[in-house]
Amino acid sequence: MTGTLRVLPLGGLGEIGKNMTVVEYEDRIVIVDTGLMFPTPDQLGIDLVLPDFSLLRERAVDIEAIVLTHGHEDHVGALPFLLRELGEDVVPAIYGGPLTVEMVRSKLDEHRLSGAALAPLEAGRDVEAGPFSLELVKMAHSIPDAFAVALRCELGTTIFTGDYKFDQTPVDGVPADVARLAEIGREGVLLLCGDSTNVDRPGWAPSESSVGPQLEQVFARCRGRIVVTSFASNLHRVQQVIDAAEALGRKVALVGRSMRKYVNIARRLGHIEVPEGMLVGVREIEDFPDHKIVVVSTGSQGEPLSALRRMAHGEHPQVDLREGDTVIFSATPIPGNERSVNETIDRLYQLDAEVVTARDAPIHASGHGYAEEMKLMLNLLEPGYVMPVHGDHRRLRMHGRLAESVGIEPERIFRVANGRPLEIDRSGARLGEAEHAGVIFVDGVDVGSLEDVALRDRRMLSADGIFIVVATISGDDGRSVSPPEVIFRGVPFLDSVDGLVDEVREAVEESLARSAEEEVREITLLQDHLHDDVAHFVYERLKRRPMVLPVVVEV
Ligand SMILES: [Zn+2]
Ligand SMILES: [Zn+2]
């Protein structure tokens, strides 16, 4: 008797970001990727968005392994939070390529989680994980050491492609292992969970190595300082910026903590080559003539705290942008970030800097393959079932259609949502019961003292707004002595409910009167009752749970 394979995505479906999938067989679990997402501008006060993995808390002892396809934040960023949720007694093996492992190690160290069982894994080596075995297959992407995962159990092999492109001239000279993929395909693939990012782009993605010469051309036209912004983890791009700078006799300064950190790790592992004397410290920039400097900076997405954003606002302590400087965006905005990127660009113009984006010159190549590459993946693997992942709903559907176009029957293609498991046994595949799949918000830079209460508060504020209720009571008998004040911010639908604020005021009066009758005199207790009564009332009327802050003043 064989069991049921359960593939449960907790994030990454119907959205771009926070990729995470829980795979279960015979009650044992392997987790593929633990990604995060950056907040959209309307999620004020939120720093990070994580998949809600609380259902794993009770299953912690069942987790055999966590396997990470590559070192991008949307695949590894939630790991410290997940490990903390699982507790210190649970130490699952964490596999990934050597670069991924080192990037994650430095991340975990920052979170004071140095006890994790990180294990770098070579491509092609099989490791056991309970009823599973797993193998990494080399892929090309915008970061070195990107892998697909072949996860086997007695029912068959599931392939998670991770992020990939079939780049024939990758910057590090190591293309995707097409031969191994074909071999695995010949052995038989049960399920393919494939990257959908660029399914809407026909043809083939341009090679990453096509970017370098373009960058050099743009550099050659610049008279002043050059600032190139890209993802810190896009190490192939950073390498090409360094090469272009070298060709034109410019020095390179790395700005932004994550930029320096990742470049250091990549240099140590031999993934980035920097000629001797090329790098200069950020404080030395002013020691060189403007035409001898290239600054490589984080902030390509307009992130609020990033180095580039601070430069654009004239708030960077070392880099003071001025006329003659050119800022080159060697990245495109992730959907949702367009607004903050545009705002950053406009600020740069205000400083009289020149701005070059991927619209002006081909200085960006996506790390994700286009439609023809996805077809190649499907044809190499000939999977029994297909589950498109890593994309918004539109892309998931398009990826499904693409699978149909290469001959996979529609009933074998599953469009799954976060929290909905795909269940496969000997008799076939079907969608299972939906589980809870929400998000967890992280606020504050001091993640070490992350408090659930603060998180919940932020979540409520972000979604449902806030009510502040100020009541003035008599110190003699606790009765309300003046009409309560009701202040609200960001409560949705409030305007559409006539007279609601008056009704809230009445609810406050009633609550106070009841407390007075019950001779509740303790202020904190009064506030508690007031909170519960108002929250209950608002929920009944609006079906919303704004944060309610009662303030009781005694006179
Ligand atoms: Zn990636
Ligand atoms: Zn990704």
pLDDT digits (tens, 9 = 90+) for 223-264: 999 999 998 889 999 999 999 999 999 999 999 888 999 999
Residue 344 sits at φ, ψ, to 5 deg, of: -60, -45
Residue 33 sits at φ, ψ, to 5 deg, of: 65, 145
In this structure, which residues have their CB less than 5 angstroms from ion ligand 2? 74, 163
pLDDT digits (tens, 9 = 90+) for 34-45: 999 877 666 655
Q: Ligand 2 mean position to 265 CA, how many Å? A: 20
Q: Ligand 2 mean position to 74 CA, how many Å? A: 5
Q: Ligand 2 mean position to 133 CA, how many Å? A: 23
Candidates 33, 195, 325, 533; catalytic one = 195
Q: What would the DSSP string read from start to end of 267-280?
A: HHTTS----TT-B-
pLDDT digits (tens, 9 = 90+) for 159-187: 999 999 999 999 999 999 999 999 999 99
Q: Ligand 1 mean position to 3 CA, how many Å? A: 32
Percent residues over pLDDT 90 in the chain: 64
Q: How far is Cα 118 from Cα 93, in angstroms, rounded to an integer?
A: 6
What is the chain's mean pLDDT, rounded? 90
The sign of the CA dihedral 399, 403, 409, 414 is negative
Please say if 72 is a catalytic residue: no
Which is higher by pLDDT, 524 or 349? Answer: 349
* Least confidently predicted of 26-40, 95-109, 238-252, 436-450: 436-450
Q: Ligand 2 mean position to 71 CA, how many Å? A: 9
Q: Ligand 1 mean position to 97 CA, how many Å? A: 13
Q: Ligand 2 mean position to 383 CA, how many Å? A: 22
Beta bridge partners of 193: 160, 387
pLDDT digits (tens, 9 = 90+) for 369-391: 999 999 999 999 999 999 999 99
Q: Ligand 2 mean position to 16 CA, how many Å? A: 8
Please tell me the number of the ligand nearest to residue 234's CA: 1
Query: For strand 63-67 and strand 28-34, is the pairing parallel, antiparallel, or unpaired?
Result: parallel
Candidates 236, 364, 368, 399; catalytic one = 368
Q: For residues 153 and 5, is the Cβ–Cβ distance under 8 A?
A: yes
Please say if 89 is a catalytic residue: no
Confidence label for 398 from pLDDT (cuts 50, 70 and 90): very high
Please tell me the number of the ligand nearest to residue 141's CA: 1
Q: For residues 104 and 33, is the Cβ–Cβ distance under 8 A?
A: no
3-class DSSP assignment, residue 539: helix
Please tell me the number of the ligand nearest to residue 18's CA: 2
Q: Ligand 1 mean position to 143 CA, how many Å? A: 7
pLDDT digits (tens, 9 = 90+) for 259-283: 999 999 999 999 999 999 999 999 9
The pLDDT value given to residue 342:
92
- The mean pLDDT value for 127-141 works out to 98
Closest CA relative to residue 274, chosen from 248, 242, 229: 242
Q: Ligand 2 mean position to 1 CA, how many Å? A: 37
Q: How far is Cα 31 from Cα 149, in angstroms, rounded to an integer?
A: 11
pLDDT digits (tens, 9 = 90+) for 319-336: 999 999 999 999 988 877
pLDDT exceeds cutoff 90 at 352: yes
Return the exposure string of 75-100: e unless at least 16 CB atoms fall within 10 Å of the residue's CB, then b.
bbbbbbbbbebbeeeeebbbbbbbbb
Q: Ligand 2 mean position to 488 CA, how many Å? A: 39
Please tell me the number of the ligand nearest to residue 143's CA: 1
* Least confidently predicted of 50-54, 74-78, 355-359, 360-364: 50-54
Q: Ligand 1 mean position to 401 CA, how many Å? A: 23
pLDDT exceeds cutoff 90 at 442: no
> Edge-to-edge strand order for the sheet containing 354-356?
251-255, 293-297, 226-229, 326-329, 354-356
Confidence label for 446 from pLDDT (cuts 50, 70 and 90): very low
